Amino acid sequence: MFFVTKSSCSLPRVPVRYQEFLFVTKSFCSLPRVPVRYQEFLIFNILFVKKMQLLGLGIGIAGLVFKFGWFKEDIVNTLQKTDINGTDTYSLLNSAALIFIVVGFFIFGIGIFGCLGACCEWRPLLVVYALVVAILLIIQIVGVALFAKYRGDIETEFQSALNTTFYRYYTNDTDVQKGFQQLFKEFECCGVNGYMDFTSQGVDVPSQCCGLDSGSCTSSSNNLFKVGCGQKFIDDLGKYNTTFIAIGVCILIFQLLCVLFSFCLCCAIGRDD
């Protein structure tokens, strides 16, 4: 534990709990004392960078969970035979998870540049950090705009591909059949368009389409899930649409603040030099 006084470190405006932190970081970097006029600004900039690292770590972990822990084997087999423009759905989702992992841990890594640049008052690191975050910000805005523009087409293509897989493989492929039945159970849906997908083919409605544990549950259509899985996925996505948008806007604003704080700190360091 370090004992720091105002006279020794000239930190009259910095909260006591941060003075020891600044003393250690400045000693580690072997640089002159932080000028009083931007001591608090430096602290807030470091806190922003650390939160940026936590954001990146969270995105990376979400990608890992999605890639290695979310899908069950039966569902994977079904998604692998559900083609969207020649590419199976599982490969598309797997690629999305990899992007989350790479981007998340990249943000975490670049946060180290920002943290070192802020602690050690090294302008090149701060500039690199700010530019990279700005580029990521632009890419995210473009990505969100493209998704909003083509969302309807994506939903239509997915539902059409799921429908094709169901009618082509359900009655003659055990793996696909198990995969669909797992989807019915997990998402409380039935068929792709509804339970009539089964009755129209003269196929027995599976017990997974029923919300009751009774053996005779499927004998009455009143006991069956009314919504097809294709529409169910779209409805679930729309249900959390506002939440996703709010989180996305908060992330974009946070990244913009990180860029602005970094450039302002660069200017403050330049004026001091």
Per-residue pLDDT tens digits for 92-124 = 777 877 887 787 788 778 777 777 777 777 888
Indicate whether 1 pLDDT > 50: no
**Could you tell me if residue 26 is inside a domain?**
no
**Could you tell me if residue 108 is inside a domain?**
yes
**Could you tell me if residue 22 is inside a domain?**
no
**Could you tell me if residue 259 is inside a domain?**
yes
**Could you tell me if residue 17 is inside a domain?**
no
> What pTM value is reported for the model?
0.61
189-198 mean pLDDT:
89
Side-chain half-sphere exposure of 15, counting CA atoms within 13 A: 6
| Phi, then psi, of 11 in degrees rounded to 5 | -120, 60
**Could you tell me if residue 31 is inside a domain?**
no
Nearest residue to 116 (alpha-carbon basis) of 57, 176, 46, 68: 46
Indicate whether 243 pLDDT > 70: yes
Q: What is residue 51's predicted lDDT score, i.e. its pLDDT?
A: 65
Q: Which of the four pLDDT bands, split at 50, 70 and 90, describes residue 29?
A: very low
Q: What is residue 21's predicted lDDT score, i.e. its pLDDT?
A: 43
Number of domains forming the structure of the chain: 1
38-46 mean pLDDT:
55
Tell how far CA 9 is from the center of its chain. Answer: 42
**Could you tell me if residue 153 is inside a domain?**
yes
What is the domain range of residue 70?
37-272
**Could you tell me if residue 115 is inside a domain?**
yes
Phi/psi region, residue 120 (left: phi>0; alpha: psi -120 to 50; beta: rest), is: alpha
User: 193: which DSSP letter?
Assistant: S
| Burial letters 83-109, b for 16+ CB under 10 A, else e | eeeeebbbebbbeebeebbebbbebbe
